[in-house]
């Protein structure tokens, strides 16, 4: 069984997730830690729970989801894994972060890129890859079929959807990704988004004003 620890970090109120199972191996998804206090919060949890980080995953590479990539690499030697189509997004950050008054520690680039479909493994657990572009050019979601939840990044939110006005965004593509790739999941699947509170596939199918 996969356990989920959620943190909310940085000025964008981004949700960072640590997934772990009975083996003690864990995966860090979308580390958004911006300052020392947030970095300490993550480390204290991982050390306190006696976890061993084995994977660093990014759903996509917008600034607020990768602030902590460099810190995770320095701390545990993990390079991020994401779809290759997000590399251009990652590489653009140093050009605009200073203009926004934000400090940004350069993220390492992947040695391993994730495909559009397939699986990643840690401990005794499996996460299925679901390709869901639209908010960003090559966004991935991570689906724990056995535990019935989805780490959804910035695709689907409680009664909302990801913004599509950033470079590489495409509103029609996002709607299509949600309807064709996420709404085929069981209605009771819990969605842990990149911002805000969790929801379920079934609730959004019925009530999301962007999709009904």
Fold classification of 3-207 (topology level): Metallo-beta-lactamase; Chain A (3.60.15)
Neighbours of 43 (CB within 10 A): 15
CA-CA distance, 32 to 73, in Å (whole number)? Answer: 13
Q: Give the pLDDT score at 34.
A: 98
The residues, any chain, with a CB within 8 Å of residue 152's CB and separated by 6 or more, are: 59, 132, 141, 182, 191, 192, 193, 194
Q: What is the pLDDT of residues 136-190, one digit of tens each?
A: 999 999 999 999 999 999 999 999 999 999 999 999 999 999 999 999 999 999 9
Whether the full predicted model's pTM is greater than 0.95, yes or no, is yes
Domains of the chain, by residue range, sit at: 3-207
Residue pLDDT, tens place only, 39-77: 999 999 999 999 999 999 999 999 999 999 999 999 999
What are the backbone angles phi and psi of residue 195, rounded to the nearest 5°?
-150, 145
């Amino acid at each position: 069984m996969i356990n989920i620890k959620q943190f909310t970090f940085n000025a964008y109120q981004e949700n960072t997730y640590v997934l772990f199972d009975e083996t003690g191996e864990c995966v860090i998804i979308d580390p958004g830690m911006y300052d020392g206090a947030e970095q300490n919060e993550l480390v204290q949890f991982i050390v306190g729970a006696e976890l061993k980080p084995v994977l660093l995953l990014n759903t996509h590479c917008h600034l607020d989801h990768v602030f902590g990539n460099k810190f995770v690499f320095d701390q545990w030697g993990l390079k991020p894994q994401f779809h290759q189509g997000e590399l251009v997004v990652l590489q653009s950050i140093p050009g605009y972060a200073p203009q926004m008054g934000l400090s940004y520690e350069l993220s390492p680039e992947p040695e391993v890129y994730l495909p559009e479909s397939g699986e990643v493994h840690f401990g005794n657990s499996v996460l299925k890859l679901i390709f869901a572009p639209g908010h960003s050019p090559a966004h991935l979601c991570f689906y724990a079929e056995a535990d019935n939840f989805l780490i959804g990044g910035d695709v689907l939110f409680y009664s909302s959807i990801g913004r599509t006005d950033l470079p590489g965004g495409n509103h029609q593509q996002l709607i299509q990704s949600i309807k064709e790739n996420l709404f085929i999941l069981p209605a009771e699947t819990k969605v842990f988004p990149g911002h805000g509170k969790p929801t379920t596939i079934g609730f959004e199918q019925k009530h999301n004003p962007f999709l009904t």
